[in-house]
Chains A and B, each alone.
Chain A
Amino acid sequence: MQKSNKITIKILLVFTLPLLFFSITNVLAIESIEDYVFEPNSEPYDLTYGEWEAKFWELHVNLPPDKSPASPIYKPTECLLLKDENMTFLSDFYSEIEYRNYNCEISQTPIAIPALTEGCSYGEFEKPNDKIIEDCVYSHNPYAVVKVTIDGKEIPAIDSFRITSDWFILNVTQKDNPYDIKLGSHKAKINAIMPIIKPLPPGQHEIRIEVFQDIPSIIMSDVPLHRVITYNLTIK
């Protein structure tokens, strides 16, 4: 009986030790999450965070209506990504349902995670001015809590990534965009929490965005919003 116990322990050790080793190496990569995330005041790939946010917003508003979760005619797909040269942007935090999962296969590229975005432009108001746009980009975001995890590890101090872009020109080419922005080039701004991470090691990774938002009634009449977007990424 004792002998059989010893054999069992040995077998378990033989199988579990290598697994433990691999899992530790995997965890090590995740434990050093701060090494993967560009600092908020840095310039990832020669652009500021604000400039990357502007790039994302232009891609986002020009999505075809059936590919934009904000559109009433959105048709959900297995994967939703936006690309700008070497940068991969995940989808905006908003989806028409509370919990949305995407399964995507991507190459080893840096990834921008638009965990909270609010872009506004002259093209969506009847009588716009700078103040209206500035008020607009801060109308919801200050009243949102955001949590971003990569492989279960939370990006620390996520609020330090709350960054507002400088003024930029938003080129709108998508006629039926869900934000009802007129076609053409418009002065715009965006406030966002959009951490950018370096290319993740090959393998399976999970990026999860959680947002809860509610606006004080003294500011706006709104409905609380809760969204959880999960990206199951296969990095090749």
Chain B
Amino acid sequence: MIRLTLTKISNFVNLLSQKYIFIFITLLLLVYFDSSFVDLSERFNLPENKAFLIGIFLIFVSLFIFINIVLIFTIKNVFLKNYGILGDKVKIIHNFIVIYLITISLLITILFFEMIIYNSYSIYLIYSLLIVTHFIGIYFSVWGTIKFFNWFKSNNDKLLLVYVISFVTFSILISLSLVYTLTELGNTPETITPSDLKRTMHVISVNLSEIYPFYRIFFFITFCSIWVLTAFLLYDYFGRNNRLKFWIILLIPMIFFLIQFFPITLKLLISLYLLNPSLFLPFYTILSTITTFIGATMVSIIVWLLIRKIPNKSFRSYLILVTFGLLLVLTSTQETPFPRFLFPPFGLITILFVGLAIYLLFMGFYSASLHISKDMSLVKNFANRIHQYEFFRNIAKSQLEQDIKGIMSKALQSNEIRIMTKEKQHQQELEKGEIEKLFQIVKKELEYNKRSKNNIKK
């Protein structure tokens, strides 16, 4: 009976894990309400008693654990059939991420139960969660930087350079976010007990860490780098044909982001309060809580639009992970009321997505590039396509070039048979025939490029 129920639940979660729109919306809503709850509670005068706040936090924790389980299934479904192509390295990383997600889910559950049972919790639980998630984020963002830099070196595609810059900013931003949060928590007692929400938010003097402005500036730079990156992709998608639509879609998230971020624009906005306070206040609350989300959501949706027509399901699934990553990377590094209000720690769950965000972002691209470079039909498919998939085609080319370069340099150093044996040991799976095929594809690609350029000149 229990087994049957477990199987049914497992099947249900497995089904949900393939509903990408469901995952996307759940993630969006969870992160939005967790990070904006304090603002919304202020505007809409929500109850502030302990039971209500803990009840809300329970919903967030439950959703967090649920979405982690769904994502574990999603990652499994995306990669399971392709370990043969992607190699054991990806399998190891996948298992590692599963353990990571289970660990943070357990830690947040312990924190919640401490709150219920002891009416307090240990600050060390928060430290553990922050350190684990941020280090995972830093690890994958550094790896992403190196990978994109290598692709850029062999390709010189300016979009790849934007990705290099983005991953560099992710690394710095995540490091600053960790240092800032830890500094803010520096004066908190070892045991966190309930406190008055509004008094904490508005009355107590703010002794902000000196790292805060740097953290915020890097958040701005990260937003800009992702914005530029989106601009390139969007331009490739329909910017060539519809400039007006291109600029409108591109400017909306930037305007929303800038309004709240800087003193001058914010002063202009809040001065509108005097025109009509009753209309202004609800409008402002919604605006102020969705600014970051509009940017992140639009960037993700644009990428989604770009990849939805890709015929290869595996390849498309990798890039779906990228859209989740893009959504989470901006939202999880935004500032939340978390370091200031700790019982319950609203905003913490948002921050906990930082490691997963970078993992999804990096692994999405990395797996896609590995897949293209190992799947000959996909290479041809991309090599024969027009501009829309230029970026992904370039990644594939770079990955191919890197594989070939590695093999060729080894072939120059020793005899080919030894190299082939070595390659087999490293599970590169590239036979002599395949290398020849690759050369032919690259040659064709170069000829195609030449022809295209000549046609443009004509």
Binding site for B on A (CB under 8 A): 70-72, 94, 96-98, 120, 124-126, 132, 136, 139, 142-145, 147, 178-180, 210, 212-226
Contact = CB atoms under 8 A, between A and B. Distances in A.
A48 to B, nearest CB: 25
B114 interface: no
Q: Which of B198, B285, B337 has the most CB of A within 10 A?
A: B198
Nearest to B340: A221
A224 B260 contact: no
Interface of B: 38-39, 42-43, 45, 187, 196, 198-199, 201-208, 212-213, 216-217, 220, 260-263, 266-267, 270-271, 273-274, 277, 280-281, 284-285, 288, 335-337, 339-340
B216 A143 contact: no
A218 B267 CA distance: 13
Q: Which of A72, A142, A216 has the most CB of B within 10 A?
A: A216
Q: Chain B interface secondary structure, helix, strand, loop or mixed?
A: helix
B216 A212 contact: no
A214 B270 contact: yes
Contacts of B213: 218-219
Contacts of A96: 198-199
Contact of B266 (A125, A143, A226): A143
A72 B201 contact: no
A218 B261 contact: yes
Given A221-B335, A224-B39, A94 B262 contact: no
A226 B336 CA distance: 19
A153 to B, nearest CB: 15
Contacts of B43: 224, 226
Contacts of B260: 214, 216-217
27 contacts: A94-B203, A96-B199, A120-B205, A126-B187, A136-B206, A139-B206, A142-B263, A143-B263, A145-B271, A178-B199, A212-B273, A212-B280, A212-B281, A213-B270, A214-B270, A216-B261, A218-B213, A219-B213, A219-B263, A220-B206, A220-B212, A221-B335, A223-B38, A224-B43, A225-B42, A225-B202, A226-B43
B220 to A, nearest CB: 7
Nearest to B334: A217
A94 B285 CA distance: 19
B284 A71 contact: no
A96 B45 CA distance: 11
Q: Chain A interface secondary structure, helix, strand, loop or mixed?
A: loop
B340 A217 contact: no
Contacts of A218: 213, 216-217, 220, 261-263
Q: A-B pairs with the 3 shortest C-beta distances?
A: A72-B196, A221-B335, A212-B273
A215 B38 CA distance: 15
A98 to B, nearest CB: 7
A65 B110 CA distance: 35
Contacts of A221: 335-337, 339-340
A39 B258 CA distance: 37
B8 to A, nearest CB: 43
A97 B45 CA distance: 8
Contacts of A214: 260, 266, 270, 284, 288
B270 A143 contact: yes
A132 B280 CA distance: 33
Nearest to A219: B263
Contacts of B261: 216-218
A77 B42 CA distance: 22
Contact of A224 (B187, B206, B284, B340): B284
Contact of A226 (B187, B212, B216, B281): B281
A111 to B, nearest CB: 23
B180 to A, nearest CB: 10
B449 to A, nearest CB: 44
A73 B123 CA distance: 26
Nearest to A124: B205
A5 to B, nearest CB: 41
A179 B204 contact: yes
B199 A71 contact: yes
A164 B43 CA distance: 30
Given A132-B207, A222-B201, A225-B42, 19 more contacts: A70-B199, A71-B199, A120-B205, A126-B207, A136-B206, A145-B274, A179-B205, A214-B260, A214-B270, A214-B284, A216-B260, A216-B266, A218-B263, A220-B206, A221-B336, A223-B201, A224-B42, A224-B284, A224-B288
